[in-house]
Structure 1
Amino acid sequence: MESSSPSVPFPLLQTPVESNYRACTIPYRFPSDNPRKATDVEIQWIDVFLNSVPSFRQRAENDTTVIDAAEKAEKFAQRYTEILEDLKKNPESHGGPPDGILLCRLREIVLRELGFRDIFKKVKDEENAKAISLFEGVVKLNDHIEDEGKRVENLVRGILAGNIFDLGSAQLAEVFARDGMSFLASCQNLLSRPWVIDDLDTFKGKWLNKSWKKAIIFVDNSGADIILGILPFARELLRRGTQVVLAANELPSINDVTYLELHNIISKLKDEKGYLAGVDMSGLLVANSGNDLPVIDLTNVSPELAYLAADADLVLLEGMGRAIETNLYAQMKCDSVKVGMVKHPEVAQFLGGRLYDCVFKYNEVVN
């Protein structure tokens, strides 16, 4: 089952004619390439998805909501592998030529056809529970930073540290399964600045001298990412009087948080007065983005999100899928931030950075 929502363009995206919008950041092929022969970049990225098949098969095997899960997980692995190998031989097969969006889409289609709806649910629930128990302490650490510029930087570092909980990366899935991940250790171990794209100092300056009336934040993963990274940042915006809309997936994909899960998380974090660690939450909304993948094409969002975004003056896209592998160069009609951690060596190579490097791209629109 795919998203049931009709799709409309995100209203703050400069029209494709104005900005030549392409959702995928990395060009997999050019018009001059032979349409019947896979490019080197296509093969490289097909291999990235091939390398992730074992971890997805293992998650599917352990899905207790699906009858004969082990057998169906093996069918998933075989079928998706065959599709990827087909694309290597003929890039026009299976709706190609392939890019990051199509490769994600095909994986989800195969999983859903076999009855797998949310193979990461168990680990998402576990990580959400851990992060909820740590939320108050993380917020207190931020609140104790009196210098506002330093506090903002600490909040951004929290977003980046939380974003490492990404089971779509084969390497990180292996590390997570073996060692788990510590949010505070991740904060301390971020690669040193300057990052591969680093507009943080400019953003800090604008933060101190500018007030946004409404922010749309496209969120990414469950666990530390949303709870210890994004929510403290959103809370700080709320405290400044900014209305905040958190846009989350309609349907599960990898360990991304869905809008229904996000509603549940917030209900557990807020107190009886409806406050989030002492901050009024009446200005916080959770929206269904209409998306069902770990990447996003901003020409296809839900009408609900489009309506809520119409008068926003800040857009933040978070995570490798939404802010780096797609939409890094998307031009907005308002101020925008793209923030995430680089978790594929292929992306690091494209950007000229390091594996686990950070991206903080800020664009101000002067009216």
Structure 2
Amino acid sequence: MESSSPSVPFPLLQTPIESKYRACTIPYRFPEDNPRRATPIEIQWIDLFLNSVPSFKQRAENDSSVADAPERAEKFAQRYTTILEDMKKNPESHGGPPDCILLCRLREQILRELGFKDIFKKVKDEENAKAISLFESVARLNDGIEDDGKRVENLVRGILAGNIFDLGSAQLAEVFAKDGMSFLASCQNLVSRPWVIDDLDAFKLKWSKKSWKKAVIFVDNSGADVILGILPFARELLRRGTQVILAANDLPSINDVTYPELIEIIAKLKDENGQLLGVDASGLLIANSGNDLPVIDLTCVSPELAFLASDADLVMLEGMGRAIETNLYAQLKCDSIKIGMVKHPEVAQFLGGRLYDCVFKYNEVLNY
């Protein structure tokens, strides 16, 4: 069940020669490291993926769309655990040395080979329904903030709060299963600023002086993330006259929203006049990113997205996988935002921040 569409480089990515693009942010190893011996960082990250195996196994066991789901889930856990342990002994096994893209891809391949197409489908549908019911109240709350700077900060905080709904984090998956999560409480309980990377004040200043003709937003999770976080921000851009392209995954991965799911969500939120709560949404497009992982390599996107994005002047990458674990240092030809919450201690350690710290990295490109 691999994506069958061809991949092309994202047209707004600086060429590899110019920017030395490397999708993965955190270096697991360096040229001088022994290729046959796992580095301490590789072992640390392999252990992180090992710790997530029980929660993935549990989701797979409960997938009613798959015959013999418990037996297949056990096979998944055994096969993936064996691969990860192999990599500790020999990092070059199984296509290594490992990085976050390879570790994610191996996990997804095993699930798909065993017949699991979307083990998070049930929880995604439930959370999408909850978030849709709250969309109007969240959007109206933003509309009621008259000051432009305060309103955009509230919208950004909403994106970060929504990004907590991430079942790829073993700790958050456990909390979510036990208590659920409140979007408004999450907004209020974000860690205090300044965040570990905090360009929000610079962005607020540009927001008041600058308008963008077309924005591309690489979306992340289902539920509160995309519906209560990203869509109110996109709606505000539409109100300002910006065309907005939301780029979503081709295939399911963890609880990330997919292209077909996002089309369905938008259809439910638009009224009969094609508006999002009084804002013309004719400039809102949904694109298939061509991606099938919770992380993304910008040298491999769908031709559809590449065509639509070629003349965009703002790109937002959202979520820990797409904006922090990959692409944090990616150089783009236009203005860019990398935004997400730090949900792994290993990422917090690398950045020198706190667990559940926030990243808002804004880069302006002049004369684009």
TM-score normalised by length of structure 2: 1.00
Deviation of the 1:303 alpha carbon: 0.2
Runs of 4+ deviating beyond 4 Å? none
Deviation of the 1:4 alpha carbon: 1.1
Partner of 1:145: 145
Partner of 1:97: 97
Q: Distance in 2 between matches of 1:16 and 1:38?
A: 27
Partner of 1:32: 32
Q: Distance in 2 between matches of 1:2 and 1:322?
A: 19
Deviation of the 1:2 alpha carbon: 1.1
Q: Distance in 2 between matches of 1:301 and 1:28?
A: 24
Is residue 216 from structure 1 mapped to residue 219 from structure 2 by the alignment? Answer: no
Deviations 1:297-351 (A, max 9, x none): 0000000000001000000000000000000000000000000000000000000
Partner of 1:266: 266
AA paired with 1:169?
A: S
Is residue 56 from structure 1 mapped to residue 60 from structure 2 by the alignment? Answer: no
Superposition map of 1:103-118 within 5 A? 103-118=103-118
Task: Give secondary structure in 2 for the equivalent of 1:5.
Answer: coil
Q: Distance in 2 between matches of 1:36 and 1:264?
A: 47
AA paired with 2:28?
A: Y
Partner of 2:170: 170
Structure 1 spans left out of the alignment, 5+ residues? none
Is residue 184 from structure 1 mapped to residue 214 from structure 2 by the alignment? Answer: no
Identity %: 86
Task: Give secondary structure in 2 for the equivalent of 1:9.
Answer: coil
Q: Distance in 1 between matches of 2:268 and 2:4?
A: 28
Deviations 1:108-157 (A, max 9, x none): 00000000000000000000000000000000100000001100000000
AA paired with 2:99?
A: D
AA paired with 1:124?
A: K
Q: Distance in 2 between matches of 1:142 and 1:101?
A: 36
Deviation of the 1:74 alpha carbon: 0.3
AA paired with 2:181?
A: M
Q: Distance in 2 between matches of 1:259 and 1:285?
A: 11
Q: Distance in 2 between matches of 1:16 and 1:258?
A: 28
Task: Give secondary structure in 1 for the equivalent of 2:31.
Answer: coil
Deviations 1:52-102 (A, max 9, x none): 000000000000000000000000000000000000001000000000000
AA paired with 1:9?
A: P
Is residue 205 from structure 1 mapped to residue 229 from structure 2 by the alignment? Answer: no
Deviation of the 1:5 alpha carbon: 1.1
Partner of 1:79: 79
Partner of 1:293: 293
Q: Distance in 2 between matches of 1:208 and 1:4?
A: 42
Partner of 2:123: 123
Q: Distance in 2 between matches of 1:5 and 1:248?
A: 14
Superposition map of 1:262-341 within 5 A? 262-341=262-341
Task: Give secondary structure in 2 for the equivalent of 1:330.
Answer: coil
Q: Distance in 1 between matches of 2:204 and 2:283?
A: 22
Partner of 1:67: 67
Deviations 1:13-48 (A, max 9, x none): 000110000000000111111000000000000000
